[in-house]
Amino acid sequence: MPTNILMPALSPTMEKGNLAKWHVKEGDKVASGDVIAEIETDKATMEVEAVDEGTVGKLLIPEGAQDIAVNAVIAVLVGEGEDAGAVAAHTGEASPQPAKADEPAKAEKAGGDGAGRAEKADAAGPTGNGAARDTSASKPDRVVASPLARRLAKGAGIDLAGVAGSGPRGRIVKADVEAAQKSGGGSASASGAQPASPRAPGSVQAPSDDAILRNFAPDSYELVPHDGMRKTIARRLTQSKLTIPHYYVTTDVELDALLALRQDVNDAAPKTRDGDPAYRVSVNDFVIKALALALRAVPDANVSWTEGAMVRHKVADVGVAVAIPGGLVTPVVRGADAKPLSAIANAMKDFARRARDRKLKPEEYTGGSTAVSNLGMYGVKDFAAVINPPHATILAVGAGEQRAVVREGAVAVATVMSVTLSADHRAVDGAVAAELLRAFKGFVEKPIRMLV
C-alpha cells in the first residue's frame, strides 16, 4: 500500500512550515536516509530525509508552498509493483490539501502551548509512519476528540457533545474547541462545571485586525505579513506572560576588573595559521560564564517548573538571545559552567553566524534553564526580559557605563553595569533569586575566579 510522507515537526515550536525545495521528482526511487526536501521552519531551513524506501508516486505540495501544517501529507511513495494511480484513492482525494494550521501534531517540548503539548495528528497512517489512529470511530455513542481538545474543553466548560469536529472521521481537535469558545457555542457541561483555567485575564480577546486598522487612514500604512518566526515569538512570549508569574530583581555590578582581565585574555590568545587570534572573548562571554557558575553555586535557582514536580538540573546550560533579521533565536551553551571562556566565545561566534543563516539545529536552541539577553551594545541602561519557557529565569544585561560610586566614604568613578533577573515565582523564590544575583555579582567583580 502507498506510504504517506508527512510534513515533519523539525523543531519543538513548529506548527507549520514552508516547502522550500524538492530534491526528488515523481518516478524517482528513494531509500531510507535520502534527502528528499528542504523545509523552512520558524527558525531554520533544514533538509528532510526519507524514512521509508520506494518510488515517488506523487508530490502533493509544490515547491514554495507556505504554511503547511505539521503532519499534512506532502508526498506519497509507492512500493514495488504498486500503481501510482492508486495514490489518489489512498490519500482520500485527488488533490489533498494541507491540514489546518491549528492542528499541530508534535509535542511542544519547550512549553509551546498552554496545555503543555500540541495534539497528535489524527490521520491514520497504514504504514506505521507515526500518525495516530483513532480506534474509537466505530463507537457512535462516544464523542471522538483529541486529548488536547478534551483538556481545553474541560478548562473552558465546553460540552464536546455540542461541538462539530473538523478532523478525520469527525474527530474534534483544538481548532474546533477554540472556535466554539469564540462563538459561544458548545453548552456548559451537564455537571455545571466552570472553567478551571487559572488564567482568567488571558481569556480577554485582543482587538481584531479590522478594529485596529480603523484607527489609521487607509493610505498611511502598509501591511507586512508575519512570518513563521514572528508568529512563534508572539505566541510563546504571550503565553509566558500569561502563565508565568514574573517578578524582577536588579543589581549593579562593577566591570573594571573584568574589562582588564578581558584585555589580558585576548592579548594572550594564540594565533591561527592565518595570523588571526584563536579566540576573542567579549563581555557577554564573561556574563554567560558568570551566570552558569552562579547557577552551580545556587542550585535551587537551576530549575524548571512542571505541574507535577520541580525539574532540578544537574548541568548549567545557558541560552543566549541572538538578534537576527525578523526576530531572535536563543541558542544554548551546554555546560557553560565547565567550558573555558575561549570555548564559549567561539561557540557564540558560530551560533551567531549560523543563526543569521537560519542553519541552527533544533537541539541547539532548545532546553536550558536560564538565558541571557544583552542590550548593552545598544546603549540600553536596564530593562526586564520575558522568560522563555522552560527556563525559570532570564538575565537582562544593560550597558557598562562610567558612574560615580562611593568607596570608603569617598566618591570614585567606576564602570558599572545594571542587570535585571526575571524569575518564575512558582519555581524560584525571591531570596533564591537574590542569592543567584549575589553569586553572579561576585564572579563578575572578581573575574579571576572564572579562570580557576
Q: Of 91, 126, 148, which residue sits at a domain end? A: 91
Do the beta carbons of residue 378 and residue 398 sit within 8 Å?
Answer: no
Q: Of 75, 91, 107, which residue sits at a domain end? A: 91
3-class secondary structure, 169: helix
In a domain, 231, yes or no: no
In a domain, 314, yes or no: yes
Which cell goes with 338? 565547565
pLDDT of residue 33: 83
The pLDDT profile of the chain, 452 residues, written as one tens digit per residue, is 788 888 888 776 677 888 989 999 988 888 888 889 988 877 777 888 888 888 888 899 998 888 888 889 999 988 877 765 656 555 544 333 443 434 433 333 333 343 333 333 333 333 333 333 333 333 444 677 777 778 788 777 788 877 877 765 567 888 888 877 776 655 443 333 333 334 444 456 778 898 899 999 989 999 999 888 888 889 889 999 999 999 999 999 999 999 999 999 999 999 999 889 999 999 999 999 999 999 999 999 999 999 999 999 999 999 999 999 888 999 999 999 999 999 999 999 999 999 988 889 888 999 999 999 999 999 999 999 999 999 999 999 999 999 999 999 999 999 999 999 999 999 999 999 999 999 999 999 999 999 98
In a domain, 405, yes or no: yes
In a domain, 229, yes or no: no
Q: Of 71, 91, 111, which residue sits at a domain end? A: 91
Do the beta carbons of residue 379 and residue 400 sit within 8 Å?
Answer: no
pLDDT of residue 259: 97
pLDDT of residue 174: 80
Contacts 24+ apart (CB under 8 A), 266-272: 269/342
pLDDT of residue 50: 84
Number of domains in the chain: 2
Return the sign of the alpha-carbon dihedral for residues 9, 15, 16, 20: negative
Interacting residues of 288 by C-beta distance below 8 A, sequence separation 6+? 318, 320, 333, 336, 344, 348, 372
In a domain, 104, yes or no: no
In a domain, 309, yes or no: yes
CB atoms within 10 A of CB 407: 9
pLDDT of residue 140: 41
CA distances, 139 to each of 123, 135, 144, 166 (Å): 18, 9, 9, 18
Residues labelled as active-site residues:
425
pLDDT of residue 12: 66
pLDDT of residue 86: 59
CATH number at residue 73: 2.40.50.100
pTM of the model: 0.63
pLDDT of residue 292: 98
pLDDT of residue 169: 59
Q: Which amino acid, residue 196?
A: A
In a domain, 219, yes or no: no
In a domain, 183, yes or no: no
CATH number at residue 320: 3.30.559.10
**Domain with 372 in it:** 244-451
pLDDT of residue 153: 81
